[in-house]
Chains A and B, each alone.
Chain A
């Protein structure tokens, strides 16, 4: 269940996600035309509003908005100035590709980045990763980290 503000001015549906608006009073901005609406919700139900408050400052943006009579026109979460972003974005740096790391969170070496294949006969692999021999540059970096006191026990 999710309440909406269907903007009369521009025919846009602004979605009010229940977790934010369950018990909420304030002003929200239409994602399309910027009209500001006052609402007061109690226990998930629209108690007052939506009541246009032209010219006033909004408190919050909708999470998502779309124009149902307009095919697929929509404002996904995080559209600058229109909708607010998901807070559950996994990382503060969202690269959208594999994050390749050579060291664990406590700065010890991990074998976690693409490397040339090194399989033996019929795909058999040696058991130990001799980091000094197989990844000398990582070994060097590791020694530097030790010197700088960045390698922790936990």
Chain B
């Protein structure tokens, strides 16, 4: 009798062979291609059309939380301080290009490429909240908007009489988001950055190689906590909008950036709570599965490239063969059946000393091979292997191209730019995300908003501009 704990392929619903899989896949793929209709997003409506949001934000974390709404069809007004603007504009990666233009007052320094993707589809106005004249303008905007996101230090907007408790009086349906570093509490007055969040929330301590390998705690190269917590705010905003539909009332959302990273700790926190075990970093090897990690191969896929990122670094492969038959196959491929004999069960393999030995032997086998050779050999043997791709390869990936995940767009101001953010966050059949433009110069829409929307005369706007109010 068959072991009842064993799941047999024949018993599972779905295709029983590759041919059957292809047969079943084709019509479904056709269906998906048709309903998602990648590249034709603009003929469909946006899910959040009719929502107007104010973005008093800077850097990546809070801007991104609003950009999500803009990509989903909401009308966004981004408010920047006159002359100063969002400091993210001045954080172009060193030695990278600048995007023109910034502003009359800083014509020589363009907006840096680092700001891309964080403030998509927004109108840009400038406003100095300190000034008395500014208050009326902001209140007017609040009356005709659904919500606002700000990221100033705790209590700053309150001091300027524009926090939730004041704005709620003007517009009881108003949804107010304060996205800050630490939130209220003993650490209320610290500012925060992505790297600070990664450090403060214990994420950096479990990222990177183990100390035995010369490793240090590592922050991610990109601001993944900024992007991640921004998305979490968007989820909160959508829930608040739903709540408002039922009750007619607004909400204040308080979001601490450093707390977002604590969610990424996964089982680390309950592990400590239950056993007192402090999780450690383990580099490119999984602590719970073996083999399931990244190995280094001896040869680069692009040995003659000028660019060192391609020449020296295109030689890592992700390998997964943690169940017994796969591990046996892997040992046979690298001609080390003795390893299989030694570590026949997963419990034995996953132990630290075993992992050190096993990965080392795989890397020895890969020492005279290139990354693509290793991937080819392992794939042919039925083992899951994937090259560790670089940005160039992502940009050139046929899979991402066909799905429209990474695509070129003709930005009305910037010209030819490559876009991934909007289109990498899931496909919608009826109300897809789309990107009209990336960002605009400081105060680019001052006339549109102050004159056309709020009805102030051009002469007043000109006067504000000369006085530095906008």
Encode A12-51 as 1/0 by CB contact (under 8 A) with B: 0000011100110000000000000000000110000000
Contact check: which of B360, B401, B412 meets A129 at CB < 8 Å? B412
Chain B residues with CB under 8 Å of A114's CB are 98, 100, 107-110
Contact (A115, B212) CB under 8 Å given A122-B461, A122-B470, A123-B442:
no
Whether A111 pairs with B214 at a CB distance below 8 angstroms is: no
B38 to chain A, nearest CB (A): 15
Whether A108 pairs with B415 at a CB distance below 8 angstroms is: yes
Interface centre among A97, A110, A113 (most CB of B within 10 A): A110
A3 to chain B, nearest CB (A): 9
Q: Which of B133-141, B191-199, B305-313 is near enough to bind chain A?
A: B305-313
Whether A111 pairs with B100 at a CB distance below 8 angstroms is: yes
Whether A1 pairs with B214 at a CB distance below 8 angstroms is: yes
Query: With A and B bound together, what is the CA distance between A108 and B309 in angstroms?
Result: 24
Contact (A129, B212) CB under 8 Å given A99-B96, A115-B101:
no
Contact check: which of B96, B100, B356, B443 meets A122 at CB < 8 Å? B443
Encode B77-109 as 1/0 by CB contact (under 8 A) with A: 000001000000000101111111101100111
Whether B213 pairs with A87 at a CB distance below 8 angstroms is: no
Encode A47-90 as 1/0 by CB contact (under 8 A) with B: 00000000000000000000000000000000000000001111
Main secondary structure of the interface of A (DSSP, over half): loop
Closest 4 pairs (CB-CB, A-B): A18-B214, A123-B443, A108-B416, A122-B465
Interface size on B, residues (CB 8 A): 57
Contact of B184 with A by CB under 8 A: no
Query: With A and B bound together, what is the CA distance between A108 and B82 in angstroms?
Result: 32
The chain B residue with its CB closest to the CB of A2 is: B214
B47 to chain A, nearest CB (A): 24
List the interface of chain A (C-beta within 8 A of B).
1-2, 17-19, 22-23, 43-44, 87-92, 94-101, 103-104, 106, 108-125, 127-129, 131, 154
Contact check: which of B100, B109, B307 meets A92 at CB < 8 Å? B307
Contact (A154, B100) CB under 8 Å given A89-B308, A122-B465, A124-B445:
no
A100 to chain B, nearest CB (A): 6
Contact (A111, B99) CB under 8 Å given A116-B107, A129-B412, A154-B401:
yes
Chain B residues 378-410 with CB under 8 Å of chain A are 396, 401, 408, 410
The chain B residue with its CB closest to the CB of A16 is: B214
A137 to chain B, nearest CB (A): 14
Whether A117 pairs with B103 at a CB distance below 8 angstroms is: yes
The chain B residue with its CB closest to the CB of A118 is: B101
Whether A111 pairs with B415 at a CB distance below 8 angstroms is: yes
Contact of B440 with A by CB under 8 A: yes
Chain A residues with CB under 8 Å of B462's CB are 121-122
Query: With A and B bound together, what is the CA distance between A120 and B169 in angstroms?
Result: 36
Whether A98 pairs with B100 at a CB distance below 8 angstroms is: no
B365 to chain A, nearest CB (A): 14
The chain B residue with its CB closest to the CB of A86 is: B308
Contact (A117, B308) CB under 8 Å given A101-B97, A123-B442, A125-B441:
no
Whether A122 pairs with B447 at a CB distance below 8 angstroms is: yes
Query: With A and B bound together, what is the CA distance between A46 and B442 in angstroms?
Result: 58
Chain A residues with CB under 8 Å of B408's CB are 104, 106, 108, 154
Whether B100 pairs with A121 at a CB distance below 8 angstroms is: no
Contact of B444 with A by CB under 8 A: yes
The chain A residue with its CB closest to the CB of B406 is: A154
Whether A100 pairs with B97 at a CB distance below 8 angstroms is: yes
Contact of B211 with A by CB under 8 A: yes
Whether A94 pairs with B95 at a CB distance below 8 angstroms is: yes
Chain B residues with CB under 8 Å of A129's CB are 412-415
Encode B211-240 as 1/0 by CB contact (under 8 A) with A: 111110000000000000000000000000
Contact (A98, B412) CB under 8 Å given A44-B212, A123-B441:
no
16 chain-A/chain-B pairs, Cβ below 8 angstroms: A18-B214, A87-B308, A92-B308, A96-B94, A96-B95, A99-B96, A106-B408, A109-B416, A110-B414, A112-B97, A115-B101, A119-B103, A123-B442, A123-B465, A124-B446, A125-B445
Query: With A and B bound together, what is the CA distance between A28 and B273 in angstroms?
Result: 48
Chain B residues with CB under 8 Å of A101's CB are 97
Whether B306 pairs with A124 at a CB distance below 8 angstroms is: no
Contact (A113, B98) CB under 8 Å given A108-B416, A123-B441, A123-B465:
yes
Contact (A98, B97) CB under 8 Å given A19-B214, A125-B413:
yes
Query: With A and B bound together, what is the CA distance between A19 and B450 in angstroms?
Result: 58
Chain B residues 446-464 with CB under 8 Å of chain A are 446-448, 450, 458, 461-462, 464
B175 to chain A, nearest CB (A): 28
The chain A residue with its CB closest to the CB of B447 is: A124
Query: With A and B bound together, what is the CA distance between A41 and B237 in angstroms?
Result: 55
Contact (A104, B96) CB under 8 Å given A123-B126, A154-B408:
no
The chain A residue with its CB closest to the CB of B360 is: A23
